[in-house]
Structure 1
Amino acid sequence: MSSASSPSDDALARERAHLAASRAALRAMREDVEALDIRDVTANWVNAEVLGRQIDERIKALADLSDTPLFFGRLDFLHAPGADRPENAQGAERARDAEPAEDVEDAEDGRPGAGAVDRRFYIGRRHVHDADGDPMVIDWRAPVSQAFYRGSRKDPMDIGLRRRFGYTGGELTAYEDEHLTDPAEAETTSRLLQQEIEKPRVGPMRDIVATIQPEQDEIVRAGLGGTVCVQGGPGTGKTAVGLHRVAYLLYAYRDRLARTGTLVVGPNRSFLHYIEQVLPALGELEVKQATVDDLVAHVEVRGVDEPATALLKGDVRMAEVLRRAVRSHVTLPDEAVVVVRGSRRWRVPAYELEEIVQELLARDIRYGAAREALPQRIAHAVLVRMEQSGEAPDDRVQDAVARNAAVKAAVKAIWPPVDPAKLVLRLLSDPEFLAAQSEGVLDEDERKLLLWTRPARSVRSAKWSAADAVLIDEAADLVRRTPSLGHVVLDEAQDLSPMQYRAVGRRCTTGSATVLGDLAQGTTPWATRTWEEALRHLGKPDGVIEELTAGFRVPTDVITYASRLLPHIAPGLTPVASVRENPGFFEIRRVDAAEAVVAACGELLRNEGSVGLIAADARVPVLAEALAAAGVGYLSPGEETTVSTRLTLVPASLAKGLEYDYVVLDEPAAVVDGEPDERTGLRRLYVALTRAVSGLLVTHTAPLPPHLA
């Protein structure tokens, strides 16, 4: 393997020349789009507006980020892979991604195939072609790029040479070669790869296209048809895998997902701010992001449930209670419907109406759909009588009968409209109604937990909780089907209740999902026990469960220390094995005041990279006051886009999913004591301990939890 620090000057100059030419080609692609004149190609202003918006999005997607490498690798194949084409290619541009890149020979390589023009591919974040349409950079998602991630000495995948590039800022400064088919070359760890993995981070999460590992690549490139669940401990890259999987699916199935849509669901707004730049950096601008609370925002949430009440409201049994409550509005008819048309009166007797209602109930279709079908069924019964009397009514007559006042009155009495929020309000306020709908499902003590001590008079005045909003969403789906997306990524899924899983699952009933999480990091009373159970609640029982156990982000000493908690919080779960060469900085320090914690932050700020001060939520105001007194500026989670301020003060409840180069963890015992039970507290502590990428400093005044001994 060539040295990453002393590459051939001639070869490096040629690679830099290709980088400059590729950037110029990308700039020309952007200018071509900017110069498009659509004044004479659209039929009306609506089409012009849509096309104009698409052009604007294309211009943004072609932006050249000066500090982001345009390509990060090169493949020289032994034989030209001319038969490869992007799976399900949606246009000439991506079809060309499988074509060879133009380049000059590298005389110093001296290996079979190393200088063959028709066998060389530069792998980067997006496709770039020259003025003739020949690709200069291949999209990392193209099938031909797969060999960059999965090629090995055991299975070279016809690779003669794999070259990785090193960058400083946006400048190409090094390269490193692997000759996978050369038995004389010893297998070593890529230093450039290791440096990229361990690179200090400031600001939001960045993409990992240059460092995707074979086991991660298999998940990223899994097809659209199935649901994938990824169990991954801290630092295994599960979030990055999920985001890159979205980018891959949008590449391989763009037309289908353009129609059906994609969505990334995260645990909170801070987390979404942290990851929001990853997909745009990969050229994907249209993926929506939301929390579960955003998805079910039917009412304003102003209340907070006690843990036991929230646990019960999240129980899957509530789905049956709501189903019964919705269907309870149907009343079997006890009198006939008489329709007057001209001089004739047409009568549908009560027993026949009951048969129609029972048949609709038996079909178990949405309440609203059945309500819309009922007047047509009654009208059909009238038309049968008309035909029997010798008339020849058509569809227009049936529609007119369905709109008849008598029919509309009967429908209103038999199958009245249901407002989901009012339905849930009644369940939580009316003891008799709740008892009737939950008989045999909930016991008396559970009903008492659900009932409000001060019933609200209206939907608007009610102090709804987050769990109530999920119940309303369930009721809304029982009335009217929730539109389905093509693919949903659900991150930090271990913290969802069964009813929340159902809310997300409704958004992908006809699509697929990527579920990401770590059972050891579940910090809610309803935290997921098994992924099989979670997939059932999501409506994807056939989903495939994958496990990532190689840790790329958390240093060895840190993850080893944090793993002491695993027997207490997730017995049987495979500990993360760090693959980092640098063991990282790790220290436990006894302090006597908050000022000493601030001083520890100052020490770590002397290093390159970001610093996160993580503390129990109750300790945050004390530390904020100490930071202000010392004149130390800090951010809140989700504000890390401000590069000039590298310290973030993080409540432990918001730390999940975030990463910082260095972490100061304040008072571990307070993190544990801040939760309603010890198990949840230890899981919260496990999360806090594993947010560090380069080093962890634990400060404490009180004794450490004995589980860390």
Structure 2
Amino acid sequence: MAETTLLPADLQAERDFLTEARAALARMHHVVEERDVPLIGGEDNDERFTNEASERAKKQRTQALVDLPDVPLFFGRLDYEAGTIEGHDQIHIGRRHVHDGSGVPLVIDWRAPVSVPFYRATRSDRQRLLMRRRYGFSDHAALTGFEDESLIGAVETDQAETFLRTEIERPRTGPMRDIVATIQPEQDDLVRAPLHPSVCVQGAPGTGKTAVGLHRVAYLLYTERERLSRGGVVIVGPNRSFLSYIRKVLPALGEVDVRQITIDELIRQPATAVDEPAAARLKSDARMALVLRRALWSHVGVPAEGILYSKGSQRYRVHDYELAEIVSALHESTRYAAGRDALAQRVAHAVLVQMERRGESPDDRVQNAVARSKPVKTLLDAVWPKVVPEQILHRLLSNAEFLAQSAGEEFTADECAALLWGKPVRSWKSAKWSVADTLLLDELNDLIERSTGSLGHLVLDEAQDLSAMQLRALARRCRTGSATVLGDLAQATTPWAAGSWDRVLGHLEKSDAVVAELDRGFRVPDQIIDFAAKLLPQIAPTLGVPHGVRTVADSLSLVETDEQSLAGTLVASCRTALAGEGSVALIAADDQITALYDVLVAAGLQPALLGATEDEMDTTRLVCVPATLAKGLEFDSVVVAEPAQIVAAEPRGLQRLYVVLTRAVSSLRVVHATPLPDALSVAR
């Protein structure tokens, strides 16, 4: 006979309610899935578009109502004073709205105004709450218990803090989880900030800035869905590994129609060449925008002679000085291609004026015919020739004289020399472009012909690493939309980083953005933050020192060994970490990580190698992480190999080390045979 487990009545009642809510969600999903989409007949393009949009909307709604087995439907309950909410003194708060089929809500979406007190009510500002309940769930979304926090009467324990710590320290494997059950008031302020103006979050490690950005997207889609649907929402991350790590957060919150891409994918220009470091840095500089503009507009010349247009026996002449005035008026007053078209029309208009003076009555068709005539085309080819971005950039990078002329005073002679290609490239059609070149081509393309459309909202994560030219490219795609900019200036590791947030927002054309700082580390233990913060005076002296809200016993270990014993010590450290619960990462310099991966495989530990596939962290608890891919990721336990080699691997190695040291949620072990960097050595 099966053993029967007796549960407290309240816990059993909550489990029964969870079962009821899941059944209700399944019915909601079934109703949408079975619903016929009314189709409009006919061959009209607008009708086909309407049908496709309806089908797409149904598919998205169906996906949004999928009951994810490892995601709890609710995480909190609010008990209000009687009469606060008509018909409901008690509401469950969850990741999405669930109703019983007749309109009676079972679970209220966390984004609804009535849910706000769950995150912001305090004893001094109860917001008419009597009690707040938080639920505990297993990794498979089974309800395991709950804690009640009374907002009236005597204070016995800090139950909210206990729950927060428990949830944060719960071991994790696989991709990032949402933090909807543990959002703190300062995070909630940013999540629920209005669509405009844009928001910039300077967040120290472990402060939850990425989670804030993702939850802000979910909130904005709840409050501004129709407005944002016109332009769409895009999340731009630093690499595919990072995007794979965060990919499940929004679907868990019911949002399935958000693109998550890298900036290289957004630009959509293939890159097959590799720049020298100096050239890459210079091409990423904002000064290049002025150089490109000069290079493009230098192709516009001065008419050497007038034109003669013939119609039947009539002759119409536009003199060279008239043409020069037209060209001068249009020069750099519009985009290049539009200026060329405008020149043809204005010359044609000058001809039509002469026709009218002779008593003729020309119409628009006559003007267009003049604009397309051979004399006008000959003028355009001579004075305002057609160009493509590749043609301009090829000439700029292969012709020293043209580069010097276009550079003006923006670049020195040595900088121009660094920009020039080392080997001649015969034609722009055969040129191979680097990643930095693709951004220059994108800039030129917009100077020639204005990009159309604008995103509704853009989220930039790890924005401190973006260059001025990358930010300008992003700005062109979000001209009328808003942005959420996330990053930490102390973690700026690229040599072309734009600099301060004022500069970042200026290049992004969002100078009116609200800049907020998160300095309380909820994820990383205080001992680890304090250790890593020893680097801040050297890498970001203007930033304040962050602090953690948690201390974890024995969370930081520094292990010194010798070269011969290093591999064995790392294997032993990984075994120790795996003896506990949750995810484990071995992080090392990029040129070391493959060899260390092989060492762990030989030791029988079955690690994954980050960057090899997109779902590495789904398949194993132990992941070998190249230092350059560690940014934005979190693991329960982290083993760092040879910090000195991480520092020596790149110009901003200390910034990279700061990133690496702040990836652990529970424990960090630093193993080294080479002496630690000076700032960390004195901290021991």
Shift of 1:51: 2.0
Q: Of 568, 571, 582, which aligns to 1:609?
A: 582
1:85 corresponds in structure 2 to none
Q: SS of 2:608's equivalent? A: coil
| Matching of residue 508 in structure 1 with residue 508 in structure 2 | no
| Matching of residue 673 in structure 1 with residue 648 in structure 2 | yes
Tell me, in whole angstroms, the C-alpha distance in 1 between the residues paired with 2:290 and 2:639. 46
Question: How many residues are treated as equivalent by the alignment?
Answer: 665
1:205-226 Cα offsets, whole Å, 9 max, x none, are 1111111111111111111121
Contact 1:555 1:584 (C-alpha < 8 Å) held by counterparts = no
1:113-143 Cα offsets, whole Å, 9 max, x none, are xxxx423322111111221122221111112
1:525 maps to a residue whose letter is P
TM value normalised by structure 1: 0.90
| Matching of residue 22 in structure 1 with residue 21 in structure 2 | yes
Q: Note the aligned Cα RMSD (angstroms).
A: 2.1
Q: Flag the 1:642–1:664 CA change in 2: closer, same or farther, 3 A.
A: closer
Q: Of 216, 239, 245, which aligns to 1:268?
A: 239
| Matching of residue 346 in structure 1 with residue 316 in structure 2 | yes
Q: Flag the 1:521–1:375 CA change in 2: closer, same or farther, 3 A.
A: same
Contact 1:224 1:512 (C-alpha < 8 Å) held by counterparts = yes
Q: Flag the 1:17–1:439 CA change in 2: closer, same or farther, 3 A.
A: same
Q: SS of 2:331's equivalent? A: helix
* Aligned pairs for 1:177-196 within 5 A: 177-182=148-153, 187-196=158-167
1:657 corresponds in structure 2 to 632
Q: Of 692, 695, 699, which aligns to 2:667?
A: 695
Shift of 1:405: 2.7
Instruction: Using the TM superposition, name which of 321-330 and 178-187 deviates more.
Output: 178-187
| Matching of residue 645 in structure 1 with residue 615 in structure 2 | no
Shift of 1:412: 2.5
| Matching of residue 473 in structure 1 with residue 442 in structure 2 | yes
Contact 1:263 1:489 (C-alpha < 8 Å) held by counterparts = yes
Q: Of 324, 330, 341, which aligns to 2:300?
A: 330
1:630 corresponds in structure 2 to 603
Shift of 1:284: 1.5
Instruction: Using the TM superposition, name which of 519-528 and 38-47 deviates more.
Output: 38-47
1:92 corresponds in structure 2 to none
1:108 corresponds in structure 2 to none
TM value normalised by structure 2: 0.93
Contact 1:488 1:513 (C-alpha < 8 Å) held by counterparts = yes
Shift of 1:373: 2.1
Q: Of 49, 53, 56, which aligns to 1:53?
A: 56
Contact 1:314 1:498 (C-alpha < 8 Å) held by counterparts = yes
Q: Flag the 1:537–1:48 CA change in 2: closer, same or farther, 3 A.
A: closer
* Aligned pairs for 1:221-236 within 5 A: 221-236=192-207
* Aligned pairs for 1:108-127 within 5 A: 117-127=87-97
* Aligned pairs for 1:480-629 within 5 A: 480-483=449-452, 484-580=454-550, 582-583=552-553, 585-591=555-561, 592-629=565-602
1:705 corresponds in structure 2 to 677
Contact 1:163 1:175 (C-alpha < 8 Å) held by counterparts = yes
Q: SS of 2:275's equivalent? A: coil
| Matching of residue 458 in structure 1 with residue 427 in structure 2 | yes
Shift of 1:461: 3.8
Q: SS of 1:333's equivalent? A: coil
Contact 1:201 1:661 (C-alpha < 8 Å) held by counterparts = yes
* Aligned pairs for 1:65-84 within 5 A: 65-78=68-81, 80=83
Shift of 1:260: 0.9
* Aligned pairs for 1:199-348 within 5 A: 199-298=170-269, 300-348=270-318
Shift of 1:442: 1.3
Q: SS of 2:579's equivalent? A: coil
Tell me, in whole angstroms, the C-alpha distance in 1 between the residues paired with 2:316 and 2:154. 91
1:441 corresponds in structure 2 to 410
Contact 2:149 2:160 (C-alpha < 8 Å) held by counterparts = no
Instruction: Using the TM superposition, name which of 511-520 and 155-164 deviates more.
Output: 155-164
1:303-341 Cα offsets, whole Å, 9 max, x none, are 322322222111111110001111111112222233333
1:239-295 Cα offsets, whole Å, 9 max, x none, are 111111111111111111111111111111111111111112212122112222223
Shift of 1:184: 5.9
Q: SS of 2:88's equivalent? A: helix
Contact 1:198 1:580 (C-alpha < 8 Å) held by counterparts = no
Shift of 1:80: 4.9
Query: Which segments of 5 or more consecutive residues in structure 1 lack a partner in the other structure?
Result: 1-6, 83-99, 101-116
Contact 2:202 2:489 (C-alpha < 8 Å) held by counterparts = yes
Tell me, in whole angstroms, the C-alpha distance in 2 between the residues paired with 1:360 and 1:236. 51
Tell me, in whole angstroms, the C-alpha distance in 2 between the residues paired with 1:122 and 1:39. 35
Tell me, in whole angstroms, the C-alpha distance in 2 between the residues paired with 1:500 and 1:41. 43
| Matching of residue 424 in structure 1 with residue 423 in structure 2 | no
Q: SS of 2:609's equivalent? A: coil
1:473-500 Cα offsets, whole Å, 9 max, x none, are 1111111223321111111111112122
Q: Flag the 1:283–1:564 CA change in 2: closer, same or farther, 3 A.
A: same
Contact 1:519 1:528 (C-alpha < 8 Å) held by counterparts = no
1:91 corresponds in structure 2 to none
Tell me, in whole angstroms, the C-alpha distance in 1 between the residues paired with 2:155 and 2:556. 39
1:144 maps to a residue whose letter is V
Instruction: Using the TM superposition, name which of 371-380 and 415-424 deviates more.
Output: 371-380
Query: Which segments of 5 or more consecutive residues in structure 2 lack a partner in the other structure?
Result: 1-5
Tell me, in whole angstroms, the C-alpha distance in 2 between the residues paired with 1:175 and 1:516. 33
Shift of 1:157: 2.1
| Matching of residue 410 in structure 1 with residue 379 in structure 2 | yes
Q: Flag the 1:77–1:373 CA change in 2: closer, same or farther, 3 A.
A: farther
Shift of 1:419: 0.9
Contact 2:597 2:609 (C-alpha < 8 Å) held by counterparts = no
